[in-house]
Chain A
């Protein structure tokens, strides 16, 4: 019988991982839901978010708010980059074969990944936790850093805000409509191209924010992009591509499987996650909460 406080700590660490993944995977899922493209470059946007946050903190110095300014600034610049890429390149590939769209996003992975290496070198970088969140909380015999707690709370907050925006605002209605039937939406006089750009910008923002916020927990290194994209990918596939709550559920499952998988099969936790993904795809190709493609 494992120690209960240990199980509690383990599930919290899984939850932290889950909320990070949700932040990243929600952008991936949004792009797929509306644009029907699996954006391989989403992980690269996440990496650029991390590097940009690092860069901004270097400029600002370590003040009480510099981390938060850096995080928002990084997410905004990544969002801007996403908008430019979508507007001037990606938009020209709509209506072409899926393979071309897929490979274009992969080309971005190569180009932007190398660009980051040119700008920031290959040395590992890191940021410390923002002042005010450096301590840790003792709960049921487990120690949880405040920063992890913040992430655990931020995840649902963003999820709710996101859900509210999708359900209750005009833009949200258009996004949901575009996911269902873009031709009709265009015929109704909605500027679908602008909407797509908006979705891409929003998704890039989320990816960049995820990257910026992970800097106190993980090292910033080249290659963090290809690693995270596969993780985010598993999350959206398990949850259901394009399904909002599905992504949330997928992230929760992933976090716990990873966290407890390490306990029970220390060497095969990666394997258990891919096996879970394959099982879901075999039984429900559109994921747990997704809907089949027409």
Chain B
């Protein structure tokens, strides 16, 4: 019964009504969650599905953000082109860096991803002419929604939104599309092969799979989608800054992934929702958010290593078993 409801569609439709509820602030939060959900899901393709712990995923997020920012602000390119360009550019960098990274294993892999991310950060931080250096690039324009507003004026219920709310709708649609694509990737034979590699790389090698090439492909796909998330984030944030690519951003998205649960597809998105919601609850009481975040992380590691999705799954399983016994 529960399984027959198309949950993804329900969530998507519900998300469309957030601005209608009237609170600008909640629309803002929802927008944040949606972008981070894509970022975390892209990371999970590596960590959860392929077993590659990347500590530098923020590099591709940052590259995507800068690509969109530079194209839209400095060159006046329309969003329609700048957005896919963010994904392509981040994917290309992921191809270049990943080529070297996938030759290493475990901790060395994590370190090389971190090294490359720090290189990206250092360039963004220092290359004043192109990236704006330490000051970043403020005032990234919103995409042009003029035509949409004219159309919306003719339709009932959808007219009269602000630009930021149109951007939210756009983000929602784009991220939904990206997640659908990622879902297809995970469910494809390619995705199954990634899981096989995670479970036992030696055996995969033995049966004739080119493990490195599969890992590189996963790295590029993950990087490209992180770049798309970054492209949206720059506009959402109304600016692009070097700390988008700093290593602490990489660890933030890793925590989201872990909090939601790496074993499931929707886990990281849940993690993004939980962490951002928690953050906005807590910062109104105390400025010591990192302290709370660290404590959450410690509890998570010791008590719920499977994250939210893992905890829910095991609770459901326990419930089912009890029902069967009864």
Contacts and interface: CB of A to CB of B under 8 A. Distances in A.
B81 interface: no
B53 A99 contact: yes
B305 A100 contact: yes
Contacts of A293: 105-108
B164 interface: no
Given A38-B107, A278-B112, A281-B111, A114 B126 contact: no
Contacts of B305: 96, 100
B13 to A, nearest CB: 35
Interface residues of B, number: 41
B159 interface: no
Given A102-B110, A113-B290, A271-B122, A278 B301 contact: no
Interface string A101-117: 01110111111011101
Nearest to B103: A285
B47 A111 contact: no
A277 interface: yes
B111 A38 contact: yes
Contact of B248 (A36, A100, A226): A226
Interface string B95-125: 0000010011111101110111011001101
- Chief secondary structure at chain B's binding surface: helix
B313 to A, nearest CB: 18
B119 A278 contact: yes
Central interface residue in B53, B100, B105, B301, by most chain A CB within 10 Å: B301
A286 B104 CA distance: 10
Given A107-B298, A237-B111, A282-B100, A271 B247 contact: no
Given A110-B294, A113-B290, A103 B119 contact: no
Interface in A248-271: 267-268, 270-271
Contacts of A84: none
A170 interface: no
B251 interface: yes
A107 B106 contact: no
B257 to A, nearest CB: 10
Given A230-B118, A277-B115, A281-B111, A103 B291 contact: no
16 contacts: A92-B302, A99-B254, A103-B251, A103-B254, A104-B301, A106-B297, A107-B297, A110-B293, A111-B291, A111-B294, A114-B294, A274-B115, A274-B119, A277-B115, A278-B100, A281-B104
The 3 closest A-B pairs by CB, nearest first: A110-B294, A114-B291, A111-B294
